[in-house]
């Protein structure tokens, strides 16, 4: 017979009664990992994740263009950085899409409306420096928007929160990499081109 942790009368039991857990698990089995204890607004979380998915796809496309279009004396090393970032953003997109499916949603890969769903814009940049600057701006947008998502999710959806925390950490590394490249190229004041990138986190 299964046993539970003993608690004093003043303590609240940490775990739910075993039979209750068993009964709940058999209810709504078609929902998979989403159980009755899931407290977040699932539809809203799926919407936010699809916006993050669009952001990652746009970042993949932008980094890939920059990889192929990079030219100049310092281009080879920078191009390799672009490609590495593109591959990592693709991994993020796959992870986000998988989580959307786990939550019972459908990942939106449609090209139609992709740019409007994305938090960051697709800005090509004409020179190597401009490419780096635009990528840095996009990373900073992702950092801010993903940090807001992490705070919004809190303890209501810890699995999605941890996923976004992991992705956020990589985006911060990307921003640091790009800033260091600009410093190595003696660009003192990184500034994006005239295309203004906007943060578009829509919670409601």
Question: pLDDT tens-digit profile of 16-44?
Answer: 554 554 455 445 544 545 545 567 788 99
SS3 16: coil
What pLDDT does residue 199 have?
A: 36
Among the residue ranges 34-43, 78-87, 172-181, the one predicted with the least confidence is 34-43
In sequence order, which ranges of 70-201 are alpha helices (DSSP H)? Answer: 75-102, 114-117, 128-153, 158-184
Tell me, what CATH number does 59's domain have?
1.20.1260.10
* CA atoms of 132 and 66, how far apart (whole Å): 8
Report which of residues 196 and 97 the model is more confident about.
Answer: 97
What pLDDT does residue 74 have?
A: 79
Whether 78 maps to a domain, the answer reads: yes
- Domains in the chain: how many in total? 1
Contact (CB, 8 A) for 92 and 170: yes
Whether 33 maps to a domain, the answer reads: no
Joined tokens for residue 181: 């490249």
* CA atoms of 172 and 79, how far apart (whole Å): 19
First to last CA, the chain: 47
Whether 123 maps to a domain, the answer reads: yes
Range of the domain at 54: 39-184
* CA atoms of 87 and 81, how far apart (whole Å): 10
């Amino acid at each position: 017979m299964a046993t539970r942790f003993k608690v004093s009368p003043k303590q609240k039991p940490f775990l739910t009664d075993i039979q209750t857990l068993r009964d709940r698990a058999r209810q709504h089995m078609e929902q998979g990992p989403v159980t009755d204890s899931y407290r977040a607004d699932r539809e809203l979380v799926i919407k936010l994740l699809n916006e993050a998915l669009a952001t990652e796809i746009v970042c993949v496309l932008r980094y890939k263009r920059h990889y192929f279009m990079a030219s100049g004396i310092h281009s080879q090393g920078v191009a390799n950085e672009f490609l590495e970032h593109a591959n990592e953003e693709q991994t993020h997109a796959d992870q986000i899409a998988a989580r959307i499916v786990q939550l019972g949603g459908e990942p939106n890969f449609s090209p139609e409306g992709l740019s409007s769903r994305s938090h960051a814009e697709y800005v090509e940049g004409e020179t190597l420096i401009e490419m780096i600057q635009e990528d840095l701006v996009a990373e900073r947008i992702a950092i801010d928007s993903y940090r807001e998502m992490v705070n919004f999710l809190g303890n209501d959806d810890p699995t999605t929160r941890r996923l976004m925390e992991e992705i956020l950490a990589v985006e911060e590394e990307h921003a640091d990499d790009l800033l260091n490249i600009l410093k190595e190229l003696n660009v003192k004041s990184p500034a994006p081109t005239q295309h203004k990138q906007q943060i578009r986190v829509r919670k409601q």
